[in-house]
Amino acid sequence: MYLLRVMMGAVLVFGLVNAPLAAADPVASPKPASSADVASPDTGPADAVLTGQRMIAVVENLHQALLAAGRAHPTDTAARAAALAPELARAYDFEAMLRLIAGTHWTTATPRARAAAAAAFADYSAALYASRFEGGEGVRFKTQGAFQGPRGTVVVRTHLLAPGIEPVSLDYVLRPGAGEGAPAIQDVLVDGGISEVATRRSEFDRSLKEGGLETLAEALKAQTRALLDAAPPAQAATPAE
């Protein structure tokens, strides 16, 4: 059975504007928005649609990587984490996420402490994803479309579909990259309200209060080891006689 261990914790609801920027599935796509819905003085309708398509590509590439890792390493969490780490690094802006999570602890930290904490957060995220997603038959992601979000973000709305469970709504909040930079995910909302950033802010609060980013980095390293050590070992191949 393919499992998604849904993120639990504090709830942060974004006031989304139902103005599609691009749609990936013609059947399930919302009604196309007018030019006035998506255009701004600096961004015309064509640019808005292109932006939505780029956002969708980031999310769909991530989904493909998740499914591929599950198929390739269905019983080996550590191997899934290793396979997912570079894909997550391309899809997510872990530094921006941690800056939102840590708040003033980030602004008062040294560049070295910031870099160490961001790296530990990325490793922890790979281990967490790997522990949530396992291989299975009949599992797929369905993209509904891209929508304007708050404060210049774009939300890519998707569903996780798997046999025997209700569809799980996953809304990815992305910010366009500066210049030619690639867009990156900065938050994920599960079933319309459970925010990854808000959840991590609650979980990391104690470590941050105890010792800032340095203490958080060490705590994340320990949690990463625990996630990987708790996973059942991969079954060894039986030598041919």
**What confidence category does residue 176 fall into, taking pLDDT thresholds of 50, 70 and 90?**
confident
Domains of the chain: 20-230 (3.10.450.710)
What are residue 162's phi and psi, to 5 degrees? -150, 145
Q: What confidence score (pLDDT) does residue 12 get?
A: 27
On the question of pLDDT at 104 being above 80, the answer is yes
| pLDDT tens digits, 53-94 | 999 999 999 999 999 999 999 999 999 999 999 999 999 999
Find out whether 208 and 20 touch, Cβ atoms under 8 Å: no
Residue 94, class by beta-carbon neighbours within 10 Å (0-12 exposed, 13-18 middle, 19+ buried)?
buried
pTM for the model = 0.78
What are residue 229's phi and psi, to 5 degrees? -70, -30
